[in-house]
Amino acid sequence: MNTTTAKLPQITQERRKVMVLGTRGPGAEGGIESHVDELVPLMCAQGWNVEVIGRAPYEPVEPADLGPARVTWLWAPKVHWLETIVHSFIGLAYAAIKRPDLLHIHAVGPALVTPFARLLGLRVVVTHHGFDYEREKWGGMARRIIKMGEVLGMRFANRRIVISQDIRNRIEAEYHKSSDLIHNGVPLPTPATTQEVLDELGLEPGRYILQVSRCVPEKRQVDLIDAFALSGLADKGWKLVLVGNLQMHTPYGKKLKSAADHTDGVVLAGFRKGQALKELFTHAGTFVLPSSHEGLPIVMLEALSFGLTCIASDIPSNLEINLPKHQYFHLGDVQELAAKLECATARPSTDCEVAARRQLVVERYDWKKIACATSGVYIEATG
Structure confidence at residue 358 as a pLDDT band (50, 70, 90): very high
Helices 367-382, 31-45: axis angle to 10 degrees equals 70
Structure confidence at residue 154 as a pLDDT band (50, 70, 90): very high
Residue 82 confidence (pLDDT): 87
Q: How far, in whole angstroms, is CA 89 from its chain's centroid?
A: 23
Domain 196-363, CATH class in plain words: alpha beta
- The fold for domain 17-185+366-382 equals Rossmann fold (3.40.50)
Q: Kindly state the average pLDDT of the residues 247-260.
A: 91
* Residue 59: burial class (beta carbons within 10 Å; 0-12, 13-18, 19+): middle
Compute the C-alpha angle 321/175/54, nearest 5°.
Answer: 65
Residue 5 confidence (pLDDT): 42
> Tell me: the pLDDT tens digits for 208-224?
999 999 899 999 999 99
Q: Kindly state the average pLDDT of the residues 46-67.
A: 90
In this predicted structure, the answer to whether residue 26 has a pLDDT above a threshold of 50 is yes
* CA distance linking residue 49 with residue 101, whole number of Å: 10
Q: Return the domain boundaries, the chain.
A: 17-185+366-382, 196-363
Helices 221-231, 251-261: axis angle to 10 degrees equals 10
Mean pLDDT of the chain: 92
* CA distance linking residue 181 with residue 373, whole number of Å: 9
> Tell me: the pLDDT tens digits for 316-325?
999 999 999 9
Q: Tell me if 17-185+366-382 shares its fold with 196-363.
A: yes
Least confident span in 62-66, 190-194, 231-235, 364-368: 62-66
Task: Write the single-letter amino acid at 268.
Answer: L
